[in-house]
Amino acid sequence: MSWSSRLKRTMPAVVLLCCVASAAYAGDAPSNGLGERGIAIQGYDPVGYFLAGEPRKGLPEISTTYNGSRWLFSSESDKRRFLAGPNRYLPAYGGYCAYAVALGYLSDADPRAWTILYDRLYLNCPEPTLDVWLMNPLFYIRRADSKWPLLSVQIGARTTTKAGDGYHVAQ
């Protein structure tokens, strides 16, 4: 069996362990999830990914509440852009790790592990998860798109968020 074949077979388990460890390490950090109470995408400016081409931390004094989460922005102009068309800037899958969603799980993403494809922001867990996701993003996007409706219902049913919480969709 080739090295790449072994990597493809074992990587999902390794990635899930990394995501769970990352979520546990985060402690009581704000959730990435839309509709959750708290600060969305760990305080990063969602517009900055598109305009600056990089993640930028937002400022608490430049914020708005949208879809139950507080969104921070690095400038007033970014905030105005967001308010004019929030769906353009919202991350896919509520800001959860796109790769984990493709596997049927919710896991906090690292806003610094990101990609924009087809004008949509995707957040992931850090390497090696991001690297695996980038090997075939269209495959993972299709899988995540099919699993997201059930996962998003589960998010709506949650009343509190604690690090390490995870939900799984039966295959």
Distance in angstroms (rounded) separating the CA atoms of residues 141 and 92: 9
**What does pLDDT average to over the chain?**
77
Going by C-alpha positions, the residue among 19, 105, 31 that lies closest to residue 70 is 31
Scored b (16 or more CB within 10 A) or e, 103-125 reads bbbbbbbbbebbbeeeebbbbbb
Instruction: Please give the pLDDT value at position 160.
Output: 31
DSSP state of 96: B
pLDDT above 70: residue 127: yes
Q: What is the mean pLDDT of residues 98-102?
A: 96
Residue 117, amino acid: L
Instruction: Please give the pLDDT value at position 38.
Output: 82
Residue 9: pLDDT band with limits 50, 70, 90: low
Residue 1: pLDDT band with limits 50, 70, 90: low
Q: What is the mean pLDDT of residues 28-48?
A: 68
State which H helix or E strand residue 45 sits in: none
pLDDT above 90: residue 16: no
Q: Tell me which of 3-7, 21-25, 118-122, 124-128 is least confident.
A: 21-25
Q: What is the pLDDT of residues 145-169, one digit of tens each?
A: 999 999 988 877 553 333 333 333 3
For the chain, domain boundaries: 11-21+30-157
Distance in angstroms (rounded) separating the CA atoms of residues 151 and 101: 8
CB of 70 closer than 8 Å to CB of 57: no
